[in-house]
Amino acid sequence: MFTVKQLSSLAGVTPRTLHHYDQIGLLKPSKIGDNGYRYYGEQAALQLQQILFYRELGLPLLDIKKIMGRRDFDVLAALESHKVEISRRIKRLEQLVGTVDETILHLKGQKIMSNKQIFSGFSMEEEEKYAREAEEMYDPATVRESNLKWKAYGKEKQQSILAEGQQIYDEMIAVLPKGAVSAEAQALVEHWRKHMGYFWTPNLDQLLEIAQGYVNDPRFRANFDAMHPQLAEFMLEAVKVYVLK
């Protein structure tokens, strides 16, 4: 049996998360001791593993509860499904890493990339998925308006916007040695925020949430780590300074 503290430590979640899962009926303790403490057995630990797999794949908690609560829920079938989806994501991330490597050679003058190669690995499917997730975090009407705005640009303009965004990240990497509080880094945060105007203009709290997502969301983190292993944390620190100015 695991205590809340032991299981949270093993799984890399907070005790508050386990308490929340208990409150919404997603993951109940295996037993509650006479002292009122929650205890989790192996079956509960495997259930938590399933929950974390589904969270990694972007499913909301209520959807996970519905899936895992079905009488015909099959753990082995779910694991096979997870394996297929994770393998697909690994393939895409490997493609993005390849695009980063090719771009480095391009910027060093050692290789010429076509416009199509520059955006290899980025897909409208991913943009749509992130947009759906954003609707859970922000005002759905605002997000839908942003999606319509993006689609109205057309392919050429979209590529130009993505290229401008990549340029901001490249310049942010270049000012890493100067620190997050430097005038150069703060100017780039301002540019980054204005760049988002192509989609929507986040308020300061939302701007900070986005930067936190770059660090905490494994999918965004993988993309940023491929550009530079310190970029995600540097962006977050720079945004914190910007927000508190």
> In tens digits, what is the pLDDT along the chain, a chain of 245 residues?
899 999 988 888 889 899 999 999 999 999 998 888 899 999 999 999 999 988 887 778 888 888 888 888 888 888 888 888 778 777 777 777 777 777 777 677 776 665 555 555 555 455 555 555 554 555 556 666 777 777 788 888 888 888 888 889 999 999 999 999 999 999 999 999 998 888 877 788 888 888 888 888 777 787 788 888 899 999 999 999 999 87
Residue 192: its pLDDT value, please? 92
84 in any annotated domain: no
Residue 133: its pLDDT value, please? 54
| 143 shares its domain with 211 | yes
User: Burial letters for 38-63: b for 16+ Cβ neighbours within 10 Å, e otherwise?
Assistant: bbbeeebbebbebbebbeeeebeeee
For residue 230, give Cα distances in angstroms to 52, 178, 219.
26, 13, 16
Residue 209: its pLDDT value, please? 85
- What is the Cα–Cα distance from 103 to 112, expressed in whole angstroms? 9
DSSP class of 40: E
95 in any annotated domain: no
Domain span at 140 = 122-244
52, 73, 94 — which closes off a domain? 73
- 10 Å Cβ neighbour count for 195? 15
Counting the structural domains of the chain, the total is 2
| 135 shares its domain with 208 | yes
Q: Give me 118's structure tokens.
A: 């520059």
94 in any annotated domain: no
Residue 97: its pLDDT value, please? 76
| 149 shares its domain with 58 | no
> Which pTM value belongs to this model?
0.48
User: Burial letters for 117-145: b for 16+ Cβ neighbours within 10 Å, e otherwise?
Assistant: ebbebbeeeeeeeeeebbeeebeeebbee
For residue 156, give Cα distances in angstroms to 14, 106, 151, 163, 216.
44, 21, 11, 11, 31
The CATH number that applies at residue 167 is 1.10.490.50
| 129 shares its domain with 239 | yes
